[in-house]
Amino acid sequence: MRETTLTSSTSTLVHTTLPSTYQVVQSVLKVLKRNSSAGRRGGDTQAQARAQAQIRGRKMAAGFKTVEPLEYYRRFLEFGAPPTDAPDKGYVVPNVDLSPLCSWRFRSGPPGEEAQVASQFIADVIENSQIIQKEDLCISSGKLAWVLYCDLICLNHDGNILDACTFALLAALKNVQLPEVTINEETALAEVNLKKKSYLNIRTHPVATSFAVFDDTLLIVDPTEEEEHLATGTLTVVMDEEGKLCCLHKPGGSGLTGAKLQDCMSRAVTRHKEVKKLMDEVFKSMKPK
Amino acid sequence: MAFLDFRGGSGRVQIVSKRRATCGRHSWSPRVGACVLRTHLVRKRALLGGSNKPRLHVGSRAMEGAMQTESKIRADSRTEPGPRGPGCSLRHFACEQNLLSRPDGSASFLQGDTSVLAGVYGPAEVKISKEIFNKATLEVILRPKTGLPGVAEKSRERLIRNTCEAVVLGALHPRTSITVVLQVVSDAGSLLACCLNAACMALVDAGVPMRALFCGVTCALDSDGTLMLDPTAKQEKEARAVLTFALDSVERKLLMSTTKGLYSDAELQQCLAAAQTASTHVFRFYRESLQRRYSKS
């Protein structure tokens, strides 16, 4: 299946049959149980939290890894030193992995352009929306801080990767539990108490809404891969619950007037409410554990 | 043969002499006299629309302090009625075209202290793996000033490439490649906007067919909601939100947008309106610059 098989006749089909009404998104959020094999000796760093988000056929799985000091590896540096220009901040490192598993378009090897752009987008969303305070990740100012590696692995690519990534990220962040760390004054080593864990403090809930633009007139919410391919432009709006915009990502493409943008904003607000409701439901059902 | 054109502010006397010196060094062609430096005393009407005072709207380095106070004053007087956009001025900009001999088109764009050099090769031969059967393959390479290009550069390359793809008439050159190479010479704020402007000028210089011109404008919002156009690096750092837009020249539609920080919907519309007004000045500069260039040769 190569790009060349999509001819102009397909694009006329798009114009005549796709309505410009809001397409309802069926999103299913499944939060997987936290992997409780942390005590296994010799095991690799364990995922602290996992969440899987599925939106109309696109699946993204997000996992969080924090380097856990197991008995075996105590001598190694388990945490990171905070950056010199911000001694009381930790790190959140997102990485989006688009592997050949999810689509025929990707090859194995170093991350391609789409994966890099998506990683940068997620990093921007984390920073702009202040979803977690990096100060919360600091254990001891200037010496030790948590490094949260967020790996977003695409399981199935059917377009609209950025939305799915944001949902998965949010769900996974809500599920992360960091163990308590104290620094022993005599030995100056960190001591991790795996029995006492606490959830991260999530301050805002950014939700992304993507649109595909066709010839400056038609706007489709939540495009599939085929729609994205035929579109002349895309637009992603990330909004948090107060109606503040964290990110307006429009990477080129055909032009949009101010009025059309306004339209997109109002749909983004509706979408945010739906997603938030769904997420709250899921987490409420999960909490007593 | 390089063509230099700029629009200066009050410190223009200094700038003129610097430019003359540079021009003298580079222009080794018999048409030395053709290296014309036009100095304008530009007194543009206030972007605010209601003010009658002729203001110098293109600040120079020396005037930066004054510019800050100007914007504060304007912010205070925002309660005046009338259709006024939040005003602020653009820094002085200059553009030099055809300064490199190897690329098909080249341009250097200066905005205040930010400077970007762009070179365009194309339409040229394309690798079989990258060729598209019915249009030209556009490629953008952005080199940072120091260090190796990273993920942030890749993201910016994609933004610039998609913007160029929307305006370049690729269908006229199928199975070819058009490569835009951007080198950051100095970064003092509004880098992405400067890159976009340089890319546009270089594409024009190369003679690549386009359906419209495009320009980049940056807006910064600080913590009390004051809007600043074309912020410096310091202003960007202190701002609550920085928004960069690419607008096309035909209908001032939004081609590209990338933002950093938190802001509300109303603020977005405000910034967009201000950017659209500012883009008028940039497009006028493009037009006059090109008119002057082709009228001499």
By three-state DSSP, how is residue A255 classified? Answer: coil
Q: How confident is the model at residue B250 (pLDDT cuts 50, 70, 90)?
A: very high
Cα separation, B154 vs B160, whole angstroms:
10
Question: What b/e readout covers A20-33, taking b as 16+ CB neighbours within 10 angstroms?
Answer: eeeeebebebebbe
- Region for residue B178 given its phi and psi (left: phi exceeds 0; alpha: psi -120 to 50; beta: otherwise): beta
Q: Which of B154, B253, B260 sits opposite A257 (nearest CB)?
A: B253
Q: Are B243 and A248 in contact (CB under 8 A)?
A: yes
The answer to whether residue A85 neighbours chain B at the CB level (below 8 Å) is no
In the prediction, which pLDDT does B83 show? Answer: 33
| Interface with chain A: mutation pick from B254, B255, B264, B270, highest number of A CBs within 10 Å | B254
State whether B258 and A116 contact (CB < 8 Å): no
* Residue B120 predicted with pLDDT over 90: yes
**Chain B: which residues have CB within 8 Å of chain A?**
132-133, 151-152, 154-155, 158-166, 243, 246-248, 251, 253-265, 268-269, 272-273
Q: Are B275 and B247 in contact (CB under 8 A)?
A: yes
Average pLDDT over residues B159-185: 95
* Chain B residue numbers touching A265 (CB-CB < 8 A): 265, 268
Radius of gyration of chain A measured on its C-alpha atoms: 21
Q: Tell me: ipTM over 0.95.
A: no
* Chain A residue numbers touching B258 (CB-CB < 8 A): 248-251
Q: Are A55 and A26 in contact (CB under 8 A)?
A: yes
* Residue B177 predicted with pLDDT over 60: yes
* Residue B90 predicted with pLDDT over 90: no
| Interface with chain B: mutation pick from A7, A93, A120, highest number of B CBs within 10 Å | A120
Average pLDDT over residues B193-199: 96
* Chain A residue numbers touching B133 (CB-CB < 8 A): 4
Interval A60-100: pLDDT, tens: 555 544 433 222 222 222 366 666 677 778 888 888 888 89
In the prediction, which pLDDT does B121 show? Answer: 96
The answer to whether residue A270 neighbours chain B at the CB level (below 8 Å) is no
State whether A124 and B256 contact (CB < 8 Å): no
* Chain B residue numbers touching A117 (CB-CB < 8 A): 154-155, 158
Amino acid (one-letter) located at B188: A
More reliable by pLDDT, B33 or A109: A109
- DSSP designation for B280: H
Interval A207-265: pLDDT, tens: 999 999 988 788 889 899 899 888 988 999 999 888 888 889 998 888 888 888 888 89
- Scanning every residue of chain A, which has its alpha carbon at the shortest distance from the alpha carbon of B135? A4
* Residue B247 predicted with pLDDT over 80: yes
The answer to whether residue A120 neighbours chain B at the CB level (below 8 Å) is yes
Interval A93-147: pLDDT, tens: 888 888 898 888 888 889 888 999 999 999 999 988 888 888 888 777 777 788 8
- Scanning every residue of chain B, which has its alpha carbon at the shortest distance from the alpha carbon of A249? B258
Cα separation, A269 vs A263, whole angstroms:
10
Q: Are B59 and B92 in contact (CB under 8 A)?
A: yes
Global pTM exceeds 0.90: no
More reliable by pLDDT, A37 or A264: A264
Average pLDDT over residues A47-55: 49
- Scanning every residue of chain B, which has its alpha carbon at the shortest distance from the alpha carbon of A2? B132
Q: Are B293 and B33 in contact (CB under 8 A)?
A: no
* Chain B residue numbers touching A262 (CB-CB < 8 A): 265, 269
The answer to whether residue A107 neighbours chain B at the CB level (below 8 Å) is no
- Region for residue B244 given its phi and psi (left: phi exceeds 0; alpha: psi -120 to 50; beta: otherwise): beta
Q: How confident is the model at residue A58 (pLDDT cuts 50, 70, 90)?
A: low
